[in-house]
Structure 1
Amino acid sequence: MILKAGALALVLTGCGVSTPSADRIDLAPPPAALLEPCGRPVPVPETADTTGEQERLWGRDRLELVACGDEKAALAAWAQGVVGVLVDETT
């Protein structure tokens, strides 16, 4: 009975997930620019009485929104890379 319990313990420990050692994982932090919050929309001032001025401000907001989306996509890619490294280290 003790022999069976010992054999079972050896088998079960072999099936466990190993955790990577902190000294084996070398992850650079994400670029600081990717952690910056997105810019707020530009308020349309009272002096923007022309449609052209309003369109210019709207266009600026749209460009900044696209740039921020690109930065957040890059941050997501970095995070997926981190997960990939951790998964590779534990298998």
Structure 2
Amino acid sequence: MRRRHHFHIDHAGHSVSVTVQTGHKAVVEVLVDGKSTGYATTSGDRPVTVHIELPTDPPTPATVRATAGPGIPRCVLEVPGAESQVMSPRLF
């Protein structure tokens, strides 16, 4: 059964949102400031890493690590020079 989970965090004045769709094939989509910036798929519950950029001057590279399961998915934002931040789940 497919199910969507949403996560969000604000970092350096930018909004980072992630949707994880679970099921036989997990789909991870990342939005920065409302624009789609990253997409990845993985089979089963394998973790997936999506590389993104925050639109600063100059652009800041970042990574979203998403784990689809088992159980409730989890997302972590990693930015060089900062601690990894667990993203908060959002209800839609």
Greater RCO (Cα-Cα under 8 Å, separation 6 or more): 1
* TM-score class normalised by the smaller sequence: under 0.3
Considering fraction of residues, name the structure with more helix. Answer: 1
Considering fraction of residues, name the structure with more strand. Answer: 2
TM-score by length of 1: 0.22
